[in-house]
Structure formats: structure tokens, C-alpha cells
Chains A and B, each alone.
Chain A
């Protein structure tokens, strides 16, 4: 099956610093990658959609200058939380979808727990 990894799984940082989260599709080429944020006991909130080689499309209310997304290759997308603050603490999950018959299915990474002190 399609496997998506995320790194790191957990990160603690000081307020004001930047944090980069990597999302990789291990056994397929991800035409599109998605970044979600999940608050405790809540559903997933889509932050942005990125296609390889093009700029990410951000959802309404998501600051694109704060959450920088790069999708430089068909197997890697990164989310950088710039100048992180305590309110950015959350569980960030990426997903990836391929092409052809699998483009309708999103495969999710294991998530990254971010704690900003």
C-alpha cells in the first residue's frame, strides 16, 4: 500500500523560532500533497494543497507567510511554521495522492506534534 512518512514526529521549540516538517511519499509519486491541522478531539482542518512544482493553494484564513509550503519533488513536501507562537501548537498531518486511478485517494502521514513554549 501507499506509505507516507513525516519527520519529525514530535518537536518542541521556543516561541519565535521556525520549525520545518517534512512529508514524504515512500512508494509512490505524489502529484498532490495536503497539509492539515488537528486540534485535540476535533476533526482535520485543511490548511493548504500543494502540487509539485507550483505554489501551494491556501485555505481561507490560513496565513501563507506564516505557514510556508514547498513541494519541490514528487515525493517531498515541507511545511515551515515561521516565528512560531504557542497558539501554533497543534498536531500537523500531511497526506498525499498520486496520479491516475489513485488520485482520488489521500494517504496520510503519521502526524507531527508541535509544541511551542
Chain B
């Protein structure tokens, strides 16, 4: 079975500050990992994904994430937060031959002036 844990349901940063959203996964086989962003009343938009190629993955809007097998982590970072980054962020894992995604509980990012 696979699972995802997102530490911190709410994260608040100042505009221009570093964004760090944490994601730890559990999987018995090499996983595929994803970060999605959801704006209010909208669907999910893919930010980036790890599919066993480079461990440092760059995504859209300046976000990146690093796959660390030893730590079973896939934390999302952005060097400088922008007001438009305020949204809900979901980490998800897909493992094995199946095509189901298992989502974390989400982290609400707030960006303050």
C-alpha cells in the first residue's frame, strides 16, 4: 500500500520568502510523485512530477521538488513567494503497476505582505 503525509495543513510565509511544503511518502515499490495546486473552486493543476529520472524536478511557476529516497521525502520549494502562490497544494503518489493516485491531505499556503 502507498500513502502520503503532508506535514502542516497551513503554512504562512511573507511575500518574497522561501516556500517549503513538506511531503513524505510510503511505498513498497519505486514511486511516481506529484505536486498539484488547487485554487478556490477550481480543479487541480499539475505543478511537477517525479518519474524516476532526475531527482531534482523543476515545475511551473518557479516551483521545484527533490526526491530523496533515504528520507522518503518529496518536499516542494520556491525561493521567493508571490501573492499569487496562495492556494491549496496536494502531494500525491502513484506506485506499482496501477494508475491510482493517493493524495495527501493538502497544505493551505498563505502569502502575506
B101 nearest in chain A by CB position: A106
Main SS of the interface on chain A? strand
Q: Which of B47-93 contact A (CB under 8 A)?
A: 49, 51, 90
Determine the interface band of chain B, counting residues with CB < 8 A from chain A. Answer: 20 to 34
Beta-carbon contact of A103 and B99 below 8 Å: yes
B29 within 8 A of A: no
Contact with A along B101-113 (1 / 0, CB 8 A): 1011110000000
A110 nearest in chain B by CB position: B43
A76 within 8 A of B: no
Identify A43's interface contact among B45, B46, B90, CB under 8 A. Answer: B90
Q: Known contacts A105-B34, A105-B49: does B103 contact A43 (CB below 8 Å)?
A: yes
Q: How far is the CB of B33 from chain A (nearest CB, A)?
A: 10
Total interface residues on A, using CB and 8 Å?
Answer: 23
Q: Which chain A residues border B34 with CB–CB below 8 Å?
A: 105-106
Q: How far is the CB of B111 from chain A (nearest CB, A)?
A: 19
Beta-carbon contact of B46 and A111 below 8 Å: no
Q: Which of A90-115 contact B (CB under 8 A)?
A: 91, 93, 95, 97, 103-111, 113
Q: Which of B9-56 contact A (CB under 8 A)?
A: 32, 34, 36, 41-46, 49, 51
Q: Which chain B residues border A113 with CB–CB below 8 Å?
A: 41
Interface centre among A6, A97, A104, A113 (most CB of B within 10 A): A104
Contact with B along A49-82 (1 / 0, CB 8 A): 1000000000000000000000000000000000
Chain B residues with CB under 8 Å of chain A are: 32, 34, 36, 41-46, 49, 51, 90, 94, 99-101, 103-106
What are 9 of the A-B contact pairs (CB < 8 Å)?
A4-B43, A32-B99, A43-B105, A43-B106, A49-B100, A95-B43, A106-B34, A108-B36, A108-B44
Q: Which 3 A-B pairs have the closest CB atoms?
A: A108-B43, A108-B44, A110-B43
Chain A residues with CB under 8 Å of chain B are: 4, 6, 32, 34, 42-44, 46, 49, 91, 93, 95, 97, 103-111, 113
